[in-house]
């Protein structure tokens, strides 16, 4: 780091009654602690206005701290971005431009009558600038303080305002000329590199929201229900500092003319393919795809799994389907309810019946019927199995269910694929390099609690600090490291690595620790 020209001036030490001491960088403890509090003042992406507010602590400049220079890297915060600076009473200021356009620049404050005494602190120093990169914030800064001798170090930057953004939107559903909010639609959030960050579900008004996002590009994917098409299933946008991006989606229902089939139709298809006799209307490939659709849309549904067909990957799915569709005379009511229900699911996955189709005299739709029948079949009350069989049987035979049978308050759950899976996102430590502490942010995606280990290693691979070892909920998390080891000792300055590990993989990052 080059010393400021003002640091060599005689006036400061002479006015303070000191002897001139040659400028030098002292060894040992850092004689000052400078914290830069970053404030976001507004402005559109690409022209956002920020201010660094500095607090200076005199830890070891004896007898008084009388000069301060903050160095900025022109590769980060350009000179042209500078707007203004302020200083406390009794200090003056300098804005120093380097001779070379690609070198660092700095701001400088000096005092002649209001120096910071040993052990004291002072605020009121600030730099306001326009930041042109909407995807990041200015990085590390260096400083120089003096009173006869020069002392150097790095500032600690604290984001005094949120440096994160949010993303939200609405999903609308149009069918038969009527547009309504699409509630209970699964929405997945990805990084621009296709790492899954989080999942949510639209509320009754079709609205979704992701908060606390890193300033970067993001992708949003909706899980389109069967029988609908989306204007786009995946959309990309950028989240900027202080910004809440908006991505809306529109779903349109396919024009499905109800043509549902009875149990007898589906039994015939299965038996033809298993026995190799007869003339099936559904190809073997279609029947296999229907079974796969039942697995991913119903068995593994996030909101309400309907697990009628439990098929091991090594088992012939048609055999399992035949067993459900064939009920002997000694079969139970539950067996017959399952028989009607699996036929109903086949009608839906084969697009012979829309989930949005109204199937009761008072307005209940197919989705509500499936949810309600499954609740009846799994509540442990045998008499309710008969009701589930009756409802599904009426629908499969194209007969309207009487009013008052299916509660209209039954949730409209769009049966769609499950997007769960444990995926990890690990952000860059901030600030980096750091003196006091750095924060590490990450996001988890999983089913229930996710086992997590987050450890810090030195360059030899030795674990110096375990930050997390245990189970965490899916979602966004962050943890800070204060540069201390597991033994309670301050680590040496230098390069360290951190590793976040889950059952599905690991991710690493690098931090640089500076001397205090």
Residue spans of the domains in the chain: they are: 5-159, 165-253, 263-396, 423-513
- Residue 63, preceding peptide bond in cis (omega within 30° of 0): yes
Fold identical between 5-159 and 165-253? yes
Axis crossing angle, helix 284-294 with helix 333-349, rounded to the nearest 10: 110
Three-class SS state of 325: helix
- Assigned token pair, 207: 């609205």
Which residues touch 121 (CB under 8 Å, ≥6 apart)? 55, 56, 57, 58
pTM strictly above 0.75? no
Q: Exposed, middle or buried, 352 (CB in 10 Å: 0-12/13-18/19+)?
A: middle
d(CA 102, CA 40): 26
- Sign of the C-alpha dihedral computed for residues 308, 314, 317 and 318 taken in this order: negative
Q: In what order do the strands lie in the sheet with 121-131?
A: 82-86, 121-131, 48-58, 32-42, 156-159
Of 162, 142, 190, 151, give the one whose Cα is nearest residue 48.
162
DSSP per position, 365-391: BHHHHHHHHHHHHTSS-HHHHHHHHHH
Helix (H, G, I), strand (E, B) or coil at 284: helix
**Dihedrals phi, psi of 81, to nearest 5 degrees:** -80, -15
Torsion angles phi and psi, residue 320, rounded to 5: -65, -40
Fold of 5-159: Immunoglobulin-like (2.60.40)
The neighbour count for residue 265, using CB atoms within 10 Å, is: 17
Q: b/e map of 296-314 (b: 16 or more CB within 10 Å)?
A: ebbbbbbebebebbebeee
Q: Rounded to an integer, what distance in angstroms lies between the CA atom of residue 292 and that of residue 84?
A: 64
The CATH number that domain 165-253 falls under is 2.60.40.10
Please list, in sequence order, all residues whose beta carbon lies within 8 angstroms of the beta carbon of residue 106, skipping any fewer than 6 positions away: 4, 69, 70, 71, 72, 96
Tell me the C-alpha distance between 354 and 361, whole Å.
Answer: 17
Question: According to the model, what pLDDT value does residue 262 have?
Answer: 94
Architecture of the domain delimited by 423-513: Sandwich (2.60)
Place of tokens 């962050």: 478
Task: Output the CA angle 164-167-172, nearest 5 degrees.
Answer: 170
pLDDT tens track of the chain, all 516 residues? 333 333 333 233 323 332 222 333 334 467 899 999 988 887 877 788 889 999 999 998 988 999 999 988 766 677 778 888 999 999 988 767 665 555 678 899 999 888 999 999 999 999 998 888 776 677 778 899 999 888 999 899 887 666 678 899 999 998 878 898 998 888 988 888 777 788 888 998 999 999 888 777 899 988 888 888 889 888 999 887 767 899 999 998 888 888 999 999 999 999 898 888 888 999 988 888 888 788 778 877 767 788 887 654 445 678 888 888 888 888 899 999 999 999 999 999 998 998 888 999 999 999 999 999 999 999 989 899 999 999 999 999 999 999 999 999 998 887 765 544 455 567 778 888 898 889 888 877 665 677 788 999 988 888 999 999 888 887 778 899 999 999 999 999 999 999 888 766 677 888 999 987
């Amino acid at each position: 780091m080059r010393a400021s020209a003002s640091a060599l001036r005689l006036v400061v030490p002479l006015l303070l009654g000191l002897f001139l001491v040659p400028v030098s960088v002292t060894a040992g403890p850092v004689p000052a602690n400078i914290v830069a509090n970053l404030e976001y003042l507004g402005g559109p992406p690409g022209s956002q206005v920020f201010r660094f507010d500095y607090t200076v602590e005199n830890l070891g400049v004896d007898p008084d701290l009388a000069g301060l220079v903050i160095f900025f890297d022109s590769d980060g915060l350009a000179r042209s971005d500078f707007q203004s600076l302020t200083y406390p009473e009794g200090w003056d200021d300098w804005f120093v431009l380097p001779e070379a356009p690609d070198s660092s620049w700095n701001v400088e404050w000096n005092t002649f009558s209001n120096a910071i005494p040993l052990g004291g602190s002072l605020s009121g120093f600030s730099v306001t600038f326009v930041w042109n990169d909407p995807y990041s914030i200015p990085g590390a800064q260096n400083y120089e303080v003096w009173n006869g001798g020069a002392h150097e170090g790095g500032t600690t930057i604290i984001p005094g305002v949120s440096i994160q953004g949010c993303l939200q939107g609405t999903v609308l559903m149009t069918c038969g000329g009527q547009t309504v909010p699409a509630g209970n639609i699964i929405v997945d959030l990805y990084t621009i590199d296709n790492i899954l960050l989080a999942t949510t579900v639209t509320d009754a008004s079709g609205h979704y929201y992701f908060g606390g996002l890193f300033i970067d590009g993001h992708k949003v994917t909706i899980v389109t229900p069967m029988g609908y098409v989306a204007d786009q299933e995946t959309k990309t946008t950028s989240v900027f500092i202080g910004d809440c991006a908006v991505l809306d989606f529109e779903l349109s229902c396919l024009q499905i003319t109800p043509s549902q089939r009875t149990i007898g139709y589906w039994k015939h298809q299965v038996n033809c393919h298993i026995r190799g006799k007869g003339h099936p209307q559904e190809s073997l490939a279609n029947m296999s795809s229907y079974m796969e659709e039942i697995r991913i849309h119903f068995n593994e549904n996030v909101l309400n799994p309907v697990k009628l067909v439990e098929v091991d990957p090594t088992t012939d799915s048609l055999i399992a389907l035949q067993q459900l569709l064939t009920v002997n005379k000694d079969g139970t009511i539950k067996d017959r309810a399952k028989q009607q229900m699996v036929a109903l699911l086949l009608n839906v996955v084969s697009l012979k019946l829309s989930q949005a189709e109204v199937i009761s005299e008072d307005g209940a739709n197919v989705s509500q019927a499936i949810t309600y029948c499954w609740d009846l079949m799994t509540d442990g009350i045998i008499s309710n199995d008969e009701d589930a069989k009756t409802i599904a049987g009426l629908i499969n035979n194209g007969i309207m269910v009487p009013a008052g049978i299916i509660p209209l308050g039954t949730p409209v759950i769009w049966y769609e694929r499950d997007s769960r899976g444990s995926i990890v996102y690990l952000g860059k430590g901030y600030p980096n390099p750091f003196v006091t502490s750095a924060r590490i942010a990450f996001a988890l995606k999983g089913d229930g609690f996710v086992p997590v280990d987050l450890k810090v290693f030195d360059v030899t691979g030795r674990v110096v600090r375990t930050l997390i070892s245990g189970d965490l909920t899916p979602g966004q998390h962050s943890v800070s490291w204060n540069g201390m080891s597991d033994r309670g000792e301050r680590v040496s300055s230098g390069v360290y690595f951190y590793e976040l590990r889950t059952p599905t993989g690991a991710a690493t990052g690098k931090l640089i620790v500076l001397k205090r």
